[in-house]
Amino acid sequence: MTRQPNDERDPKQSTAKDRQLNDFTVDDRGQKLTTNHGLRLTDTEHSLKAGDRGPTLMEDFHFREKMTHFDHERIPERVVHARGFGAHGYFQVYEPMTKYTKAKFLQDPSVRTPVFVRFSTVAGSRGSADTVRDVRGFATKFYTEEGNYDLVGNNMPVFFIQDAIKFPDFVHAVKPEPHNEMPQASTAHDTLWDFVGQNTESAHMIMWAMSDRSFPRSYRMMEGFGVHTFRFVNEQGEAHFVKFHWKPVLGVHSLVWDETQKVAGKDPDFNRRDLWEAIESGNYPEFEFGVQLIKEEDEFNFDFDILDPTKIWPEELVPVKLIGKMTLNRNTDNFFAETEQIAFHPGHVVPGIDFTNDPLLQGRLFSYTDTQLTRLGGPNFHEIPINRSVAPVHNNQRDGMHRMTINRGQTSYHKNSLSGNTPEPASTAEGGYEHYTEKVEGRKVRQRSDSFKDHYSQATLFWNSMSDVEKDHIVSAFHFELGKVQSKEIRQRVVDVFSNVDEVLAARIAEGIGAVPPADPKPSPVTLVSPALSMMNSAKSPLTRKVAVLAADGFQEAELSEVTKAFKDAGIVADLISIRQGPIKGQDGREVEANQSLLTADSVLYDAVYVAGGRKSVDALLAHPKPAVFVKEAFQHFKPIAAVGEGADLLLAAGVGAKAVAPADAVDPAAALAAVPGVVVAQDASALGSFSEAFIAAIAEHRHWARVL
């Protein structure tokens, strides 16, 4: 795919941040090769030698410069969230939020605030796979007129710990073990589960982590949460507690566990490729911005502490008000310069947004700038193009490694008389940031409030709110994770801890791992349910779903062309997969291009499978070992499957429908197929319109859980 550099795009679409980045962007295409100092070079393939078979000369400045730069190309990866992928876009508020906050970017619906978003996994190294079981980071930098505002969130609304001082312990437990650096990007090992057994405040977050939320189908299909409780403050100085949400317009959808492991091998870049391709093809990811608001005076009116980051505010109790939308519409020009060098910090706020005493948030306010000093090599990382504010920067901070700004003038201190005491502090009317004047009183203690001590009721709320399928997946996740734990004591302790969440859950966990279940397990007496927590209740859409179309020479032409046209019209992306890549011929001699072969494509990389008819084509697919496996895997992953005419033979060969009716030989095979949830078949090309419609509806459903495997 040829990409258009930023500076060649429609200027009407470019934001203030795009224009700022253009000043730093260089296009090397079509240019003469130079050194870093602008000297034109005649050769970069041969080092300078004493004789063509002789030693390389020290004098070869070009060799030395090229090699030295290369030797130092790597910077430390992030200590957490090392693997990430980012994109540019913009944010627009729906209506003025004046009543709640004076933040300027939340006032005028006509203003597009530029943003950069970085999605990430947490535990794995930079080169680890995208689809591992993990929390996903969802960090947004808003380049507002009042300075950068960073909302550094995750795709889960709670966290493993309540106090930031425990973060190094938690991260050491979850990362690969120190003695052998294993396992990579996985929580399935002794130290993490030891931590969980010893730190029961993690129970609620573990429920989320064991759910399918841990492997999103796409970054475009996951929620984002600010996690902490922040404050909105309005012009009058009145505050509301606020929690932030991102709601994906395409709904919240996940992969299935077996699929994630296969994808990790077949395409470790699965999620980043998905985001990149969606943006390149104009399917811009959209997220609505939501807030939950609680009045200051209602702080203590809940049966949980609203500052506790291991608690949600159930949406049914405190509704999410959707106040704006973010659209991601531009891929990066350079991954390192933008995605790797971006530096987020939850302490980057703008007037109208303030902190609370959430002890996890308080500690984060220290960590994020501190970590950049090592990662980005000094205190001037705010000058790196992607980190620059679009609001002007004026202060007396000077020098340091890699200083870019050339500050004019004699003074670099406050107060001064030589520069008329400038740069001068701004009044609040001039946009100066004023901290919320919260009254604080207390003794210095290393303690946590008693109101943080309930570690279980919301873990139970989460469990209660799951559908049966989601519950089954959570139980298998515990089986897998604890199954990899060597220490039997640790496994048992986890069962004991989760019997406080729900004894039936604990018994089910115990059953799969040879642990002792609670005696006479009973469901938890906590019966509260929050439907918003179940992914089953999320928005559903066929838009941007990927369908694998299987065909070979001799395919029935209308069955291919009409159905793929219907896909296109419905916003579905189709890949034509054949035995070989390249042109294939239809029954009547028309050629189409197979853009994937059975070697390059795999069922796990698609949302659905369609097999067109045509005797010769289907026979060729049946004669090859892979197509039946392809269909079978899609079937086992509950994906929509469809076939027309002879295409149904491939479905039957894959075992689709084998369990739908019995005995198989007594029934019409087509009827057996039609009885399988999410399987759509048509006898021939006579009703392709209604066939396509039914299949597209099945694709919108995403998975068909009622299927018997």
Q: Which helix (H) or strand (E) holds 547?
A: strand 546-550
Q: Which two tokens stand for residue 280?
A: 């390149």
Q: Is 636 exposed, middle or buried (0-12, 13-18, 19+ CB in 10 A)?
A: middle
- Which range binds ligand HDE by CB under 6 A, 65-73, 151-159, 203-211, 693-701? 151-159
Of 6, 148, 154, 464, the active-site residue reads 154
Give the Cα separation of 276 and 332 in Å (integer).
Answer: 9
Give the Cα separation of 212 and 225 in Å (integer).
Answer: 17
Give the Cα separation of 485 and 495 in Å (integer).
Answer: 13
Q: Which residue has the tokens 């994020």?
A: 368
According to CB under 6 A, which one of 159, 208, 555, 635 is a site residue for ligand HDE? 159
Residue of minimal CB distance from ligand HDE?
137
Nearer Cβ to ligand HDE, position 129 or 628? 129
- Which range binds ligand HDE by CB under 6 A, 362-370, 401-409, 554-562, 650-658? 362-370
Nearer Cβ to ligand HDE, position 373 or 539? 373
Give the Cα separation of 346 and 181 in Å (integer).
Answer: 30
According to CB under 6 A, which one of 84, 216, 542, 613 is a site residue for ligand HDE? 84
- Which range binds ligand HDE by CB under 6 A, 12-20, 210-218, 360-368, 535-543? 360-368
Nearer Cβ to ligand HDE, position 79 or 111? 79
Give the Cα separation of 502 and 691 in Å (integer).
Answer: 45
Q: What are the phi and psi torsion angles at 641 (to 5°)?
A: -135, 140
Per rule CB under 6 A, is residue 202 in the interface with ligand HDE? no
Check if 154 is active-site. Answer: yes
Give the Cα separation of 662 and 54 in Å (integer).
Answer: 80
Nearer Cβ to ligand HDE, position 251 or 359? 359
Nearer Cβ to ligand HDE, position 186 or 372? 372
Q: Are strands 608-611 and 546-550 parallel, antiparallel or unpaired?
A: parallel
C-beta of 72: minimal distance to ligand HDE in Å?
20
Per rule CB under 6 A, is residue 423 in the interface with ligand HDE? no
C-beta of 367: minimal distance to ligand HDE in Å?
4
Site for ligand HDE in 43-82 (CB under 6 A): 78-81
State whether residue 562 is helix, strand or coil: helix
Site for ligand HDE in 213-232 (CB under 6 A): 227
Site for ligand HDE in 160-199 (CB under 6 A): 164, 167
Per rule CB under 6 A, is residue 360 in the interface with ligand HDE? yes
Give the Cα separation of 114 and 97 in Å (integer).
Answer: 18
Per rule CB under 6 A, is residue 344 in the interface with ligand HDE? yes
Per rule CB under 6 A, is residue 272 in the interface with ligand HDE? no
Per rule CB under 6 A, is residue 125 in the interface with ligand HDE? no
Q: Which two tokens stand for residue 340?
A: 């790797």
According to CB under 6 A, which one of 89, 114, 124, 137 is a site residue for ligand HDE? 137
CB 113 within 8 A of CB 102: no
CB 315 within 8 A of CB 292: yes
**Can the peptide bond before residue 183 be classed as cis, meaning omega within 30 degrees of 0?**
yes
Nearer Cβ to ligand HDE, position 115 or 570? 115
According to CB under 6 A, which one of 154, 202, 538, 556 is a site residue for ligand HDE? 154
DSSP string, 480-546: HHHHT---HHHHHHHHHHHTTT-HHHHHHHHHHHT-PPPSS----S-----GGG-GGGS----TT-E
Nearer Cβ to ligand HDE, position 226 or 627? 226
According to CB under 6 A, which one of 89, 124, 153, 385 is a site residue for ligand HDE? 153
Per rule CB under 6 A, is residue 337 in the interface with ligand HDE? no
Of 81, 348, 382, 702, the active-site residue reads 81
Give the Cα separation of 314 and 375 in Å (integer).
Answer: 37
Per rule CB under 6 A, is residue 152 in the interface with ligand HDE? yes
C-beta of 308: minimal distance to ligand HDE in Å?
12
Which residues are CB-contacts of 130 (< 8 A; sequence separation ≥ 6)? Answer: 83, 121, 263, 264, 268, 269, 270, 271, 272
Check if 81 is active-site. Answer: yes
* Positions in the binding site for ligand HDE (CB under 6 A): 78-81, 84, 118, 120, 137, 139, 152-154, 159, 164, 167, 227, 343-344, 360, 363-364, 367-368, 371
Catalytic residue positions, numbered: 81, 154
